[in-house]
Amino acid sequence: MSLKFGTKDVTPPVVLAPMAGITNVAFRRLCREQGGGVYVCEMITTRALVERIPKTLKMIAFADDEDFRSLQLYGVDPAVTAAAVRMIADEGLADHIDLNFGCPVPKVTRRGGGSALPWRRKLFGRIVREAVAAAAPAGIPLTIKMRKGIDDDHLTYVEAGLIAQDAGVTAVALHARTAEQRYSGQADWEAIATLKQALDVPVLGNGDIWEASDALRMTALTGCDGVVVGRGCLGRPWLFADLEAAFTDPSYEPRLPTLGEVAAIMSRHAHLLVEALEDEKHGCADFRKHVAWYLKGFPVGGELRRSLAMIRSLTELDDLLAKLDPALPFPREALGQPRGRVNAPGKVSLPYGWLDSRDDDTVPEGAEMENSGG
């Protein structure tokens, strides 16, 4: 299996899914140290980038050793999106750009952004075409990431995939859920197979890869050219080592870390966050959300768990981690289990009349969020 993003050989054919609030420079390093692939940064809004909002410029800082800097953009305006891509190209800010058409958050879809946008196919086509044109002179590969559609009665993924392909994208990633599903239920891998049948450009499958074996199953079932892995690596950055090994040798059996090994990775994660945020308090606060994911299924008492989820300093973290039993084996029952967001489905809020006119290509007003990564 081989996947190329421009001149980059994506080996193994694995992409760390962009996750707002998670895939910052620290988490990417932790994952990159485990295996090959493409590691996408947190979502950046095109307007915040072109307006050079300081917080956004900080968010697109890549590590010196990130040799394939992958950046996800969220935009709803073809002109602003093109300006953001031109800025990235002219200033050499990234080596790969992904466009986000999958965000299901009500404050985004209510204004016609994210997963609501492909329904307006002309506007969608304009955004993708202008972005590809702006990226091309610098040889930057451009991909898109989308959902199946708004809901089961308003599916867009095959048509959007064809539009994106015509526009010249390098690959198309499908999170095989509708916006209405949010993160509930099971991803519909058959939709990934359908998209693969319909397109000539590489298709990346996304949704519910919890173990390396799931990635192999998804590629076998759907014929997809690569996989995008999100929640499965929360609290388990070593999943990328498993993925690399499994794509090399499908009979590979994952090596499960002991609690001592997990504690060492937790400590490293927190140290990297503090280094990246240049502030111990903020780094520790950011780390707290990862604690429950790392400890999922381990028999660790409630009090220690709670204390770990409230750490304020690295010394406090390391002291608490030292209280864990390092020999405890990894809980097999936690394997293959969902982690992270699993929220219930919800009706998709859309702008008035959004569903009635697919070919209206007016730029939706106010759909650009000011904050990146939100």
Ligand X SMILES: Cc1cc2nc3c(=O)[nH]c(=O)nc-3n(C[C@H](O)[C@H](O)[C@H](O)COP(=O)(O)O)c2cc1C
> Does a cis peptide bond (omega within 30 degrees of 0) precede residue 329?
no
Task: Give least dist CB 229 to ligand X, A.
Answer: 5
* Rounded CA separation 147/184 (Å): 13
Q: With binding defined as CB under 6 A, does residue 243 bind ligand X?
A: no
Q: Which of 31, 103, 224, 233 is catalytic?
A: 103
CB of 312 to ligand X, least distance (A): 23
Site string for ligand X, 328-357 (x = CB under 6 A): ------------xx----------------
C-alpha span between 65 and 249 (Å, rounded) = 27
Binding of ligand X by 43 (CB under 6 A): yes
Among positions 106-135, residues that touch ligand X (CB under 6 A) are none
Q: Of 3, 14, 20, 25, which one interacts with ligand X (CB under 6 A)?
A: 20
Verify binding: residue 72, ligand X, rule CB under 6 A: yes
Least spacing, CB of residue 104 vs ligand X, in Å: 9
Considering only CA atoms, which of 36, 54, 33, 29 is closest in space to residue 44? 54
DSSP state of 248: H
Contact by Cβ (8 Å): 81, 127: yes
Does residue 102 touch ligand X according to CB under 6 A?
yes
Please identify which residue in 231, 236, 269, 290 interacts with ligand X, judged by CB under 6 A.
Answer: 231
Q: Which residues contact 114 (CB under 8 A, 6 or more apart)?
A: 74, 100, 101, 102, 103, 104, 105, 108, 179
Judge whether 103 counts as a catalytic residue.
yes
104 binds ligand X (CB under 6 A): no
Note the residues at the interface with ligand X (CB under 6 A). 17-22, 43, 72, 100, 102, 145, 175, 206-209, 229-232, 340-341
